[in-house]
Amino acid sequence: MISPTLILDDVDIDVVAHRIAWGKFVNSGQTCIAPDYVLCSYETLKKLLPSLKKAIQEYYGNQPSDSDSYGKIVNNS
């Protein structure tokens, strides 16, 4: 199943960025609510990207793979 995220132009972009980051990365994205793609205007996208980067850094630091908060999936390959 594919989960789109629709963002309107009049939202609080920082709140949206935190919610997208949480939804995508909780349980390594292995949930049915994990956003797969975003639909928004170009103007909103220009505001979203830096805010999303900031939210991810707040949750997981500059090296998410080293964070204890970032979920890992065990794989023998």
pLDDT, tens digit, for every residue of 3-62?
999 999 999 999 999 999 999 888 776 778 889 999 999 999 999 999 999 999 998 888
Catalytic residues: 32
Residue 29 has what pLDDT? Answer: 66
Residue with tokens 């999936």: 73
Residue 77 has what pLDDT? Answer: 67
Q: Is 80 exceeded by the pLDDT of residue 1? A: no
Give the DSSP H/E element, type plus range, for residue 5: strand 4-6
Nearest to 23 by CA among 33, 13, 15, 14: 33
Q: Is 51 in a helix, a strand, or coil?
A: helix
Cβ contact 28:72 at 8 Å: yes
Residue 74 has what pLDDT? Answer: 74
pLDDT band for 65, please (50, 70, 90 cuts): confident
